[in-house]
Homo-oligomer: A and B are copies of this chain.
Amino acid sequence: MGNKIFLVLLVVGVPLSIIGSILHWPTILMFVVYCLTIIALASLMGRATESLAIVMGPRIGGLLNATFGNAVELIISIFSLKAGLLGVVLASLTGSVLGNLLLVAGLSFFVGGTKFKRQTFNVFDARHNAGLLIFAIGLAFVIPEVFTQNMSHNRTMSLSVGISIILIFLYLAALFFKLVTHRGVYQPTEKTKQVEHEEEVPEWSKKTAIAVLFGATLIVAYISEKLVHTFSIVGETFGWSELFIGVIIVAIVGNAAEHASAILMAYKNKMDVAVEIAVGSTLQVAMFVAPVLVLISLFFPINMPLIFTLPELIAMVTAVLLIIMISNDGESNWFEGLTLLAAYVIMGIGFYLL
């Protein structure tokens, strides 16, 4: 089955990636090796997360997944920040948001929808997430763009730092809300779900799953860093701009873990987990990864303000409006998935031609 193919890819890909990076094999070849290996590792992480999700419930499972997907991204971005590549960092943040909201959610809805006519997920979570998407991307990212048009660099950084602190604070408050004060308050009334879960047997024990998750994350981080250094040559070879690589390529490869496991969950009709991965991961990027990077940049020679380019910002805002309109009823089908994918293709063409 699919798992065996991924296992072969893994057993072959990880050593090849390490040997090839040390022996400086041709860049385009290594680019392909890295990408395939990361996708195989993502499959492994998906299986580990699934085991954990069964043991610990869909919400914690989804959070774990989002965390492990974005740990990689945070590490890559810190290296880029250190090198002063602010544009690449902001582009890959944009790409993560678009990739999660349009590509991951789109594929989940579409693939799940080819098997099931109507799939449902927790409508309370969908609305909670919709509010936070509007807050983080529709307000906290938009305000500095408009307010700093005639502002000095110092004041721009003050506003960016202020907004970053508020974003992180509200992100932590949201975790407190979901896991402590309102844990289980907004559960759907049907009990079918719990029965479903009780019947399932996790593939791995909790310990094994966690060990696999950590191990795979480390290897993904190692390979991702190597991958990033192939981008400039790949870009030259194929005629891709830095913005396009940041927004599209980094998003697809860097979020492969989320992609794989979200789609897997959708195919198994566990839409709560699939949506939590796609939207939860977006919120983590917007409310945690992005502001943390702004704060970390204060320790580097070049500070990063929370100011995206106008195309990046408009792409994110319209993606947020689209996903909210589509997911706000707590239902999905193949056509809603196709709509999100069509939006992703439009943005892809746009960033390619920019």
Contact = CB atoms under 8 A, between A and B. Distances in A.
Interface in A311-354: 311, 314-315, 318-319, 321-322, 324-326, 328-329, 333-336, 338-339, 342-343, 345-347, 349-351, 353-354
A177 interface: yes
A189 interface: no
Contact of A350 (B159, B345, B351): B159
B335 A117 contact: no
B311 A146 contact: yes
Given A134-B322, A185-B118, A335-B174, A315 B143 contact: yes
A94 B130 CA distance: 25
Interface stretch (A163-171, A209-217, A223-231, A248-256): A163-171
A314 to B, nearest CB: 5
B131 A339 contact: yes
B338 A162 contact: no
A333 B176 CA distance: 13
Nearest to A343: B139
A166 B339 contact: no
A142 B158 CA distance: 28
A181 interface: yes
A326 B146 CA distance: 23
A63 interface: no
> How many residues of A sit at the interface, in one of the four size bands?
35 or more
A182 B338 CA distance: 14
A138 B322 contact: yes
A158 B351 CA distance: 12
Given A143-B350, A147-B311, A326 B131 contact: yes
B138 A310 contact: no
Stoichiometry, as copies per complex, reads 3
Nearest to A326: B131
From A131, A170, A329, A334, name the one whose CB has the most chain B CB atoms within 10 angstroms: A131
A146 B311 CA distance: 6
Interface string A177-220: 10001100100000000000000000000000000000000000
Nearest to A328: B127
B146 A346 contact: no
A135 interface: yes
Contacts of A349: 158-159, 162-163
A139 B354 contact: no
B353 A147 contact: yes
17 contacts: A117-B181, A131-B325, A134-B318, A135-B322, A135-B342, A135-B343, A138-B318, A138-B322, A139-B321, A139-B346, A162-B349, A166-B345, A169-B342, A173-B335, A173-B338, A181-B334, A324-B325
Given A142-B318, A155-B353, 6 more contacts: A131-B325, A138-B321, A138-B322, A139-B319, A147-B350, A158-B353
